[in-house]
Structure 1
Amino acid sequence: MSRTRRDEARLLSSHEHELVQQTHHPAVQGLSDSDLSDLIKRLREQRDRARDVSRQQRREVRGKAAPSGTRPATDNSGTKEKGAMLAAALKRTSKERERRRVSGARQELMSNARQALAMKQAAGDPATDRPSSRTADEGMQPVPNDGIAPSGALDAEGHRPVLERSRKVR
């Protein structure tokens, strides 16, 4: 469920409220990358602190921990809501950082593609080095195989062992 800015002002301290105000739409896009990273770091610290206080209050309510203040906590719902608001603000800033990263990657890809196209066009047409026709010049050349017997000799010599084994004249 979304919360109004009035709820944010009611639940958050003034310092936390200023941090969360920077995460809303027009303001978050106006931040530089270093400011955005710094904002994310501070929001994480505040969210973690609110989470730890909420856990301590929940333990006090159950009677598992000693009271951290002058009197024990009776409820931790306000601190839980504060942590949820800080977590939502952190999510918005993380989305903005991811959007910027994707946009930068897309721009880099496009510039690399343009550079590759320019290099290809500068190299010229590779077809100028090829012959004008695809016909062979003189065709294939025979390569003699020296590993076989000369023609005709194989028949006479190859049949002799067969004939001797069979003892028949052919």
Structure 2
Amino acid sequence: MAISRKEEARALSADEHELVEKSHHPAVQELSDTELAGLVKLLRERRDKAQTEAHRRRREIRGKGAAKGASPSKADAGSQRKLAVLAMTMRRLNGEVERRRRLEADLSQVANAHRALEMKQAAKAKGADFNTRHAHKGMRAVANQRAQNLVRPMELGRQRQAAKVAQAKRDAR
């Protein structure tokens, strides 16, 4: 479920809210790669801290963990909301990082294709054939590496039949 910006502001502290605001659409695309990496690192730390806090509060409510304050927590809706906001922010930032990575890969592929075309055209201008594995002299036959079988097939058949007959005689005893 989507969380409005007003609910985000209510769930976060002032400095966390500033960080989360940088992750929304127009602002995140204006960040440089190093700023984006720094923001991802900071928000991941904050998310992990909020996750630990929410887990601790849930244990207090169930009675499994010791109370951090004077009395155990009665509800953890605020810590759950904060965790949800920070997790959604991390998803947005990871999506932006992935988008930039794919864009970089696409640009790299285009550059490689242009370079290959230039190399092909330069080779064609020199007069070289495109496929140089068998250029100028044509393809050459490759000698068979397997040893030649010198036994006549008729002799093999005769021996095989003699073995069958001998085995049948032994089995008949």
Question: TM-score, with normalisation over the residues of structure 1?
Answer: 0.72
Q: CA RMSD in A?
A: 1.5
Which residues of structure 1 form unaligned runs of 5+?
130-170
Question: Match of 2:6, as an amino acid?
Answer: R
Distance 1:46 1:60 in 2: 21
Distance 2:70 2:33 in 1: 43
Distance 2:70 2:20 in 1: 30
Structure 1 stretches of at least 4 aligned residues deviating more than 3 Å after TM superposition: 125-129
Partner of 1:65: 65
Partner of 1:87: 87
Question: Match of 1:110, as an amino acid?
Answer: V
- Bigger radius of gyration: 1
Partner of 2:75: 75
Question: Match of 2:13, as an amino acid?
Answer: S
Question: TM-score, with normalisation over the residues of structure 2?
Answer: 0.71
Partner of 1:106: 106
Cα distance 1:128–1:21, how it changes in 2: closer, same or farther (>3 A)? closer
| Map 1:97-136 → 2, pairs under 5 A | 97-124=97-124
Cα distance 1:128–1:36, how it changes in 2: closer, same or farther (>3 A)? closer
Distance 1:78 1:103 in 2: 38
Cα distance 1:94–1:128, how it changes in 2: closer, same or farther (>3 A)? closer
Distance 2:47 2:93 in 1: 13
Partner of 1:136: none
Which residues of structure 2 form unaligned runs of 5+?
130-173
Partner of 2:46: 46
Distance 1:45 1:23 in 2: 15
After TM superposition, give the deviation of residue 64 of structure 1 in Å: 1.2
Distance 1:40 1:63 in 2: 34
SS of 2:40 mapped into structure 1 = helix
